[in-house]
Structure 1
């Protein structure tokens, strides 16, 4: 059995590595071609000969930092294509028939492939939860250093926080490469929903004591004094507006740098723990978290799709191939992998629009392909 395991694992791992390298080379080439338009430009978008302009070495480093994100997306597809290729080739050369006569029954073969699939589940989770988020954040900061700030449009990112007595709505215009915030506005409301103050600052920094340090802030305070009723005239309320200029203003808050990053950067590029913490923050402050909950569950279920892929590839070992017919089955495996990737994204958008349960929207593609793989295994393997 060790000889069979060594043979199958060696062939499958080599094939998966080859397929992954081919896909990554294509992504690297396309990303690099897309970055060529920015060469020689500075943060203002003008062509310059200054040393702080975006150069080819920066483009190469930026594209290289995107590789972990592409690898995370490609692992299940590569597992499917690589395993299909090996199973089909073994069937075509009658090697798998010899293995079957040597005692490799279908359930034992399934256990072998599931063990291999479990390895790729752990690998995919590690890449998507630790390596890819750090690399993608470094890539965004690198690009922002030479091409401008990180932002999500004209209005920036909006966050909300409830504290002991008041609630706050925060607007962050952009993030700088030095992890500083620009164009920060803090709107303070009392427990009746009335606006109490507006604090604006061109630059803000994350302090180490769970607070923000706003530089050159302008604080506008609104106060209402209730008038006292008199025998001759009804009392009237008087409003007062006070504007203060503060060189440094400390605002205590639980909104961390990771939460701002989640609001500004793409949620699918964040780690599972960061998404979970941000979802709890949104729910605690009465904000919708549907989009982030779907991305969280996709992070949970996506690595498990490697198990589905190896089960889907096993029936190819029990097919009968003619000479040269293996290419068609490998092409079919490529189409199946691409369709899974597309459905995984489409179900996320549909679930967000139709307000499906987040776990259902994230798990639907995997459940669908699980049913297909088990059906193929039962029909082609157990019944034939």
Structure 2
């Protein structure tokens, strides 16, 4: 039985890896075509576009992984069925349930892989990719440190301690220098928001440095004409795709404590919980097609069916994620419903076989 488990598991894993590579090539090609349109903006080059696509590839793999698992099992087990190897295995007294158990063991391995990719690799590489892209296209020098976000704005240096969604900033320090690198004006603003192509500062404390001394003043609000692009700051804002599940959990608590809407992050949190389990759902869904209605069809037909089901799951997940935010649906319900739908389809086909 161990030999059978290894043989079936190896066949399914190799087929899934091939399917994942093919899907990644297709998705990465589309991403590259989109990125090439921005080549020439600032210092963004063709090499940067290729590097960006390479860095976001782990997240793309995380997104298409359920589809790759479904395709891999349909192709792998389907190949065994077409070559009559499954019949030979069944003839030795191995039940259909035991074969499914062998495939499920491979599904557990898939689940562990998707957890590592989605929780460890993808958040770090995507955040670096977005920051690199924003820096290149905006042509501004930036740095993120434990003291906040730093950027160069002409002859000024800007330090932002907190960046909030919606192009809003808190605790902003602006240091303006003369051409001979002498500090001329130091400004602190409690809050800033980007409106009508400019920044509006509130709660301002400003110090002017001259040879005669330091002159201080306070302002209720003022316009800040800056080259600092809000899109450059968006990559520093905590985005759902850039956080592991434990980071999402902590950030949801932070937003609730501050009275902010956290539905987007709650949907992302539950989606990250459900996605690894989808590998097992796809394993279960593929079994009736291999042993039942499609046991004798060609590989091309299985690929078409797997692509159709996988794409349906992907689109359904995206639709319900957006509906949860727009219509304030329960995040757990929105994230788990596509998985439950496909699990129900699998059970229905199993009953049809019997």
Same fold (TM over 0.5): yes
1:281 matched to 2:242? The reply is no
How far off is 1:71 after superposition? 0.6
1:217 matched to 2:176? The reply is no
Counterpart of 2:24 in structure 1 is 24
- What secondary structure, in the 3-state scheme, does the structure 1 residue paired with 2:40 have? coil
- Aligned partners of 2:294 and 2:302 also within 8 Å: no
1:83 matched to 2:73? The reply is yes
- In structure 2, distance between residues paired with 1:370 and 1:321: 18
Counterpart of 2:36 in structure 1 is 36
- Aligned partners of 2:70 and 2:283 also within 8 Å: yes
Counterpart of 2:177 in structure 1 is none
Closer, same or farther in 2 for the Cα pair 1:181/1:362, shift >3 Å? farther
- What secondary structure, in the 3-state scheme, does the structure 2 residue paired with 1:26 have? helix
1:221-300 equivalences in 2 (<5 Å): 244-246=205-207, 264=237, 266-300=239-273
Closer, same or farther in 2 for the Cα pair 1:92/1:138, shift >3 Å? same
Closer, same or farther in 2 for the Cα pair 1:326/1:61, shift >3 Å? closer
After TM superposition, where is structure 1 displaced by more than 4 Å over at least 4 residues in a row? 260-263, 320-324
- What secondary structure, in the 3-state scheme, does the structure 2 residue paired with 1:304 have? helix
Q: Which has the higher helix share?
A: 2
Q: Deviations over 1:225-277 (max 9, x none)?
A: xxxxxxxxxxxxxxxxx963148xxxxxxxxxxxx978835423322122111
How far off is 1:353 after superposition? 2.4
How far off is 1:104 after superposition? 2.2
Closer, same or farther in 2 for the Cα pair 1:371/1:263, shift >3 Å? farther
Measured on the aligned residues, the alpha-carbon RMSD in Å equals: 3.1
- What secondary structure, in the 3-state scheme, does the structure 2 residue paired with 1:38 have? coil
- 1:99 is aligned, of 66, 89, 96, to 89
- Aligned partners of 2:248 and 2:265 also within 8 Å: yes
- Aligned partners of 1:76 and 1:305 also within 8 Å: yes
Closer, same or farther in 2 for the Cα pair 1:104/1:316, shift >3 Å? farther
1:63 matched to 2:53? The reply is yes
1:323-338 equivalences in 2 (<5 Å): 325-338=298-311
- Aligned partners of 1:65 and 1:135 also within 8 Å: yes
How far off is 1:325 after superposition? 3.2
Counterpart of 1:132 in structure 2 is 122
TM-score by length of 2: 0.75
- Aligned partners of 2:111 and 2:279 also within 8 Å: yes
Counterpart of 1:161 in structure 2 is none
How far off is 1:312 after superposition? 0.7
Closer, same or farther in 2 for the Cα pair 1:246/1:133, shift >3 Å? farther
How far off is 1:82 after superposition? 0.7
1:114 matched to 2:100? The reply is no
- Aligned partners of 1:91 and 1:319 also within 8 Å: no
Q: How many residues align?
A: 296
TM-score by length of 1: 0.70
- 1:309 is aligned, of 263, 278, 282, to 282
1:43-58 equivalences in 2 (<5 Å): 53-58=43-48
- What secondary structure, in the 3-state scheme, does the structure 2 residue paired with 1:311 have? helix
- What secondary structure, in the 3-state scheme, does the structure 2 residue paired with 1:178 have? strand
- What secondary structure, in the 3-state scheme, does the structure 2 residue paired with 1:103 have? coil
- Aligned partners of 2:264 and 2:325 also within 8 Å: yes
- What secondary structure, in the 3-state scheme, does the structure 1 residue paired with 2:187 have? strand
Counterpart of 1:204 in structure 2 is 159
